[in-house]
Amino acid sequence: MQTNNSGYRLLGLTTLVAILQACGGPKSSSTSGPQGGAVPTSRITIYLTVEASDPDVAVVRANLNDGKVFGSTYRLDGGDFLRACVSSTCRPMADNDSVFTPDYIARFDYRSGVDFVVSFNRQDAQDALDSRVALPPAFSIVTPVSHQPVTDGDTVQVSWAPTGAPARVALWYEAECTFQTGAKSSSTGTLTTDVNADGRESVSIDPIVTFARSNTTSPITRCSIDVIVRHELDGRVDPAFSKGIATGIVSRRVRLDYAPR
């Protein structure tokens, strides 16, 4: 299990914001290239996801950047824009108005087995019109039941149907724990992968709670633990980009209520 405490996430975000501020925040897609012109598409990386965390809505999200760790993201201007289509329905992807890391978002009804196609349309540089990814089929978590009580030493059987194969299946968690002092701590991390694609995995409660305890000597009084099952399919990034990732994700979650023995 890999975990990340909320305090460390906050520190990482603060550092990232400071670096981006030092770099002046997002750069213009149309004026940050050579001699003040458009950034060549061949120098741009795209991170594209289509995610459905409930049965009805699919969220298409794209981020354009220079592909470097703590590098620059690009805000689209000068006639550059992103558009998402599924079947015959197309929508412009709207800027989320982030000061530091703009994402472009469009929402559709949930559909599996059909490509969501994202096109990068440009005024003064090469278009990239065919990045695409499909969503895995919908599924439901069968066990455990929502708000199942758990305590120290418990192992919970998490199962879902259908199994999701041939999609990759990974289990994550998000936890919020309350301490005797009244303080709260949040953490998130990976749990396991369903390597044999049988639609079930065992989740041990102790490592999650042990990690929550690592930052304080105060006893835990309770935790809300969300176990998240993610089915993922890889898509295709238009070769006009430098590189990128396209992933279709269907996720479901179930809440466990932890109390110490």
Mean pLDDT of 52-65: 96
Rounded mean pLDDT, 3-23: 39
Please report which confidence band the pLDDT of residue 144 belongs to, taking 50, 70 and 90 as the band edges. very high
| Residue 151 pLDDT class (50, 70, 90 cuts) | very high
Question: Are the beta carbons of 238 and 40 closer than 8 angstroms?
Answer: no
* Cα dihedral value 204, 205, 209, 211, nearest 10: 10
The percentage of residues in the chain with a pLDDT greater than 70, rounded to a whole number, is: 91
Q: Going from the N-terminus, what domains does the chain have, and what CATH number goes with each?
A: 2-134 (2.60.40), 140-258 (2.60.40)
| Residue 217 near residue 187, CB atoms below 8 Å | no
- According to the model, what pLDDT value does residue 87 have? 94
pLDDT in tens, 165-219: 999 999 999 999 999 999 999 999 999 999 999 999 999 999 999 998 887 788 9
Between 85 and 261, the more confident residue is 85
pLDDT at residue 5 is higher than 60: no
pLDDT band at residue 18 under the 50/70/90 scheme: very low
How confident is the model at residue 53, as a pLDDT?
A: 95
Per-residue confidence (pLDDT) for residue 20, from 0 to 100: 40
Per-residue tokens: 236: 């295709």
Average pLDDT over residues 23-48: 92
Interval 49-70 mean pLDDT: 95
What pLDDT is attached to residue 1? 56
What pLDDT was estimated at residue 16? 39
In this predicted structure, the answer to whether residue 3 has a pLDDT above a threshold of 60 is no
Kindly report, residue by residue over 84-123, the tens digit of the pLDDT.
999 999 999 999 988 888 999 999 999 999 999 999 999 9
Q: Return the pLDDT at 70.
A: 85
Tell me the pTM.
0.85
Residue whose C-alpha is closest to residue 139's, from 250, 224, 49, 1: 250
Output the six-digit token pair for 35: 């001699």
State residue 11's pLDDT score: 34
Q: Give the model's pLDDT for residue 100.
A: 82
